[in-house]
């Protein structure tokens, strides 16, 4: 039987206050349009400890376009150049950021902001999440 691929994406967070906002609101606002839909895995990345690292992940529950947002939220999003909001179910924040350089993406030539919006296969997502989970258990 044919199994459909469910790709995921890396989305970067550039500021500590936005990291807090994502986990407080359970929502990520983005200006990068991809094939987001319910069930899409999103790996959250940012600079942590001087290295690009994964800081958490979530599964998209709802994709909300600007015109679907309340006016105040729409204005806030437009002011930052964001095009949609992704609401998560099962959002997880890593206690210890997992360095991208230690992941299966270590040889990927894209770095920093160039990873924002990068598409990942299910196998890559599984590999990264498994390694990040192992990292959490290390002392």
Over residues 35-89, the pLDDT tens digits come to 999 999 999 999 988 889 999 999 999 999 999 999 999 999 999 999 999 999 9
Task: Give domain limits for the chain.
Answer: 8-137
Name the pLDDT band for 4 (thresholds 50, 70, 90): low
The CATH superfamily of 8-137 is Hypothetical protein. (2.30.130.30)
Predicted TM-score (pTM) above 0.85: yes
CB atoms within 10 A of CB 118: 19
How confident is the prediction for the chain on average, in pLDDT? Answer: 90
Query: What is the spatial distance between Cα 33 and Cα 65, in angstroms, rounded to a whole number?
Result: 10
Contact 72, 64 (CB under 8 A): no
Point out which residues pair with 11 in neighbouring strands. 44
Name the pLDDT band for 139 (thresholds 50, 70, 90): low
């Amino acid at each position: 039987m044919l199994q459909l691929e469910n790709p995921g994406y890396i989305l970067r967070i550039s500021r500590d206050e936005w990291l807090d906002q994502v986990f407080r609101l359970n929502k990520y606002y983005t200006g990068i349009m991809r094939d987001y839909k319910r069930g899409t895995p999103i790996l959250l990345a940012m600079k942590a400890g001087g290295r690009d690292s994964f800081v958490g992940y979530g599964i998209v529950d709802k994709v909300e376009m600007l015109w679907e947002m309340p006016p105040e939220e729409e204005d806030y999003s437009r002011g930052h150049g964001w095009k949609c909001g992704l609401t998560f179910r099962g959002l997880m924040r890593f206690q210890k950021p997992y360095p991208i350089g230690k992941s299966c993406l270590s040889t990927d030539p894209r770095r920093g902001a160039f990873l924002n919006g990068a598409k990942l296969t299910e196998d890559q997502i599984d590999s990264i999440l498994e390694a990040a989970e192992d990292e959490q258990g290390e002392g």
